[in-house]
Amino acid sequence: MKGATPDLFDLQQKPQQREDVDDGCVVLRGFVDDSGAVVAAIDGVVAAAPLRKMSTPSGTMSVAMTNCGALGWTADRSGYRYAPTDPTTTTPWPPLPAALSTLATTAAQAAGYPGFLPDTCLINEYLPGASMGLHQDKNERDRSAPIVSVSLGLPAVFLWGGAQRTAPTKKLRLEHGDVVVFGGPSRLCFHGVQ
């Protein structure tokens, strides 16, 4: 795991690993340098707050999800919201592990968003056949904070759209250890997983 504040030298070591996708959206290829620690942290969260397929107003998601941190993103038949407790266990979400919060802070800094301190982490498990339709991340109160998305495991195709749902989408192949960061002018862009 990198330190909380990688210096300029660290960032200059990997200039080829940064891909600018859009104004405010960056892919950091292979940014996760200790995926074992990250996976262990996720395993700890999942043990306390099991992955589950949430219902939504329009059906049931194909992706299994859980959360850690002060708040967690949840859905049910009535809508989407952040809540301090896990509706399935009725206890608070597990704490945000340092391996995850440090990774988010360092990735955000590398992408041009210094000083990011996450208070939640949504964990999505995509088994073969699972997908995520185009959507905006808009349940967060503070949209000055970027979204940091870490890919682990099998490759997947990330769909990157625009401000409108009907905008053309770019297909980005994300591999184990890649991190996507989007904020600023990209913060409310539509995105999904094929």
Residues lying near Fe ion in the complex (CB under 5 A): 137
Rounded-to-integer distance, Cα 72 and Cα 81, Å:
8
CB of 184 to Fe ion, least distance (A): 16
User: Which residue's CB is nearer to Fe ion, number 11 or number 134?
Assistant: 134
Residue with tokens 């952040």: 82
Question: Could you tell me if 147 and 108 are in contact, meaning their C-beta atoms sit under 8 angstroms apart?
Answer: no
The least distance separating Fe ion from the CB of residue 146, rounded to whole angstroms, comes to 12
Distance CA 106, CA 32 (A): 10
**3-class SS at 85?**
strand
> Shortest gap between Cβ of 137 and Fe ion (angstroms)?
4
By beta-carbon proximity to Fe ion, the closer residue of 11 and 131 is 131
- Residue 105's nearest CA partner among 95, 115, 91 is 115
Compare residues 34 and 137 and give the one whose CB is closer to Fe ion: 137
The residue among 137 and 140 lying less far from Fe ion, judged by its C-beta, is 137
Q: Give the whole-angstrom CA distance, residue 66 versus residue 89.
A: 11
Could you tell me the smallest distance in angstroms from the CB atom of residue 136 to Fe ion? 7
CB 8 within 8 A of CB 165: no
Residue nearest to Fe ion (CB): 137
Give whichever of 48 and 120 is closer to Fe ion, judged by the CB atom. Answer: 120
- Nearer to Fe ion by Cβ, of 31 and 158: the residue is 158
Least separation in angstroms between residue 150's CB and Fe ion is 13
Q: What is the DSSP letter of 33?
A: S
Q: At closest approach, how far in Å is the CB of 17 from Fe ion?
A: 23
Q: Write the CA distances from 90 to 13, 17, 20, 124, 188, integer angstroms.
A: 45, 41, 41, 20, 30
Contact present, 137 and 149 (Cβ < 8 Å): no
